[in-house]
């Protein structure tokens, strides 16, 4: 479902190579952990897969969509329909309640408001957040915010969930709850899950570990 062919990304002048000719194939439903030191290109790789950034050269193909050639309109559609993203800093909208945050991806693609609300509540239940649905983000712990962000990332049934250090800003109790949720989702094999993590014990939960170094794949271990 995902194919990178010699994908490179460099920034600035003189150019800094963030991603250096990476070729990869990732199958549907795989649960991948990406590890590697700071600055090794992990976020750059995720940004390319999320259509948030274009490669300087090479191909990035997800579900048959060539992201390297997609224009802004196609990338917006790709993100709305196929993709869920979870960031390190949650990125919930502070003026909206939890359930309003979670139903947003459905409303953006034009779904019926009542059905969207019902689906959002069902998704919140799956991440153990049903009782927090009418709270606002500032009333939640970090782990609760992240579980709400995961519900928002999955509510529209994406084929790909990208998570960039989703537990990087959490204490260990909250981190383990969030990981449990991600591992449960990954085990259903309905979405391909690609998670960046600094933790080897977290990476051990995945089917496959890809270790980045200097913008390249240093190890790829099933």
Ligand X SMILES: Nc1ncnc2c1ncn2[C@@H]1O[C@H](COP(=O)(O)OP(=O)(O)O)[C@@H](O)[C@H]1O
Interaction site with Mg ion (CB under 5 A): 42-43
**What's the CA gap between 88 and 196, in Å, rounded?**
10
For residue 151, state whether it binds ligand X (rule: CB under 6 A).
no
Residue 18 interacting entry, from ligand X, Mg ion, none, C-beta within 5 to 8 Å by type: ligand X
Binding map of ligand X across residues 20-49, x = CB under 6 A, - = no contact: ----------------x-xxxxxxx-----
Q: Does 152 bind ligand X (CB under 6 A)?
A: no
Q: Which residues contact 6 (CB under 8 A, 6 or more apart)?
A: 21, 22, 23, 57, 58, 59
The smaller minimum CB distance to Mg ion, of residues 43 and 101, is found at 43
For ligand X (CB under 6 A), the number of binding residues is: 12
- Return the number of the residue (78 or 87) whose C-beta is nearest Mg ion: 87
Mask: binding to ligand X, 42-81, rule CB under 6 A, as x and -? xxx-------------------------------------
User: Cβ 113 to ligand X, closest distance in Å?
Assistant: 37
Task: Kindly tell me which of 36 and 143 has the beta carbon lying closer to ligand X.
Answer: 36
Does position 117 interact with ligand X (CB under 6 A)? The reply is no
Q: Considering only CA atoms, which of 60, 78, 66, 77 is closest in space to residue 22? A: 60
Q: Which of 103, 86, 77, 83 has the alpha carbon at shortest distance from 159?
A: 83
| 3-class secondary-structure state, position 189 | coil
Distance CA(104)–CA(14), nearest Å, equals 40
Q: How far is the CB of 153 from Mg ion (least distance, A)?
A: 17
DSSP 135: S
Sheet containing 31-35, strands listed edge to edge, beginning at the edge strand earlier in sequence: 83-86, 160-164, 192-196, 31-35, 208-213, 216-221
- 203 is a contact residue toward ligand X (CB under 6 A): no
CB of 19 to ligand X, least distance (A): 7
> Cβ atoms within 10 A of the Cβ of 213, count?
15
From the CB of 110, what's the least distance to ligand X, in Å? 32
- Cβ-based neighbours of 60, under 8 Å, separated by 6 or more: 3, 4, 7, 48, 49, 66, 67, 68
Shortest Å, Cβ 177 to Mg ion: 22
């Amino acid at each position: 479902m995902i194919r990178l062919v010699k994908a490179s990304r460099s920034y600035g002048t003189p150019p800094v190579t963030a991603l250096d000719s990476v070729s990869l194939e990732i199958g549907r439903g795989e649960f991948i952990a990406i590890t590697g030191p700071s600055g090794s290109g992990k976020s750059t790789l995720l940004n390319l897969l999320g259509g948030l950034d274009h490669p300087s050269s090479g191909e990035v193909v997800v579900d048959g969509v060539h992201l390297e050639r997609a224009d802004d309109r196609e990338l917006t559609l790709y993100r709305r329909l196929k993709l869920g993203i979870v960031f390190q800093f949650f990125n919930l909208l502070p003026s909206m309640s939890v359930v309003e945050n979670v139903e947003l991806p459905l409303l953006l693609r034009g779904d019926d408001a009542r059905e969207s609300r019902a689906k959002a509540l069902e998704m919140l239940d799956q991440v153990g957040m049903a009782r927090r649905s009418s709270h606002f983000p500032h009333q939640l712990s970090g782990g609760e915010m992240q579980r709400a962000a995961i519900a928002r990332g999955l509510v529209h049934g994406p084929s790909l969930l990208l998570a960039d250090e989703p537990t990087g800003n959490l204490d260990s109790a909250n981190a383990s709850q969030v990981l449990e949720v991600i591992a449960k989702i990954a085990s259903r094999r309905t979405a391909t899950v690609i998670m960046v993590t600094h933790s080897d014990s977290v990476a051990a939960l995945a089917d496959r570990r890809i270790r980045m170094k200097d913008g390249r794949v240093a190890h790829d271990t099933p």
